[in-house]
Amino acid sequence: MLQTLLCIDDEPSICALHKLLFEVNGYRVLVAHSGPEALRLLEGENVDLIVLDYRMPEMTGDKVAEIIRRDRPNVPILMESAYTDLPESALKHVDAYLIKGEATENLLAKVKTLLRKRSNGSMHTQ
């Protein structure tokens, strides 16, 4: 069975790029364009990992991560942002952080590492 990733980003082109990248690499990909949409989607879906944008209009990524972490403590969350100077508090509920625009190989490697840690039972919430 394919592992399911949820990509949350208000930028449709980023979601499309992530969807293509991850599907080509053998993952099932769900997409949400806002925090509230993602939270609604999660009510009916089991996901193995979340890729989350920080800066979104309705709800910032750190708030979305906080809610997800409370409800699903074992699901890895990878935060992405174009901002290089996010406050430490913004990363409190995520397992990894990547700057947008880094090579897609880095994104894919980070996702694989987080999924491997989860399957080995070595995930820990921050």
With cut-offs at 50, 70 and 90, classify the pLDDT of residue 126: very low
| Contact (Cβ atoms closer than 8 angstroms) between residue 54 and residue 91 | no
* pLDDT at residue 49 greater than cutoff 60: yes
Which residues of 9-107 form beta strands (DSSP E)?
Answer: 28-32, 49-53, 77-81, 96-99
pLDDT in tens, 52-101: 999 999 999 999 999 999 999 999 999 999 888 888 888 999 999 999 87
| Contact (Cβ atoms closer than 8 angstroms) between residue 7 and residue 32 | yes
Q: Does this model's pTM top 0.85?
A: yes
Distances (CA, A) of 90 to 35, 60, 101, 122: 15, 9, 19, 23
The token pair that represents 21 in the structure block: 């990248």
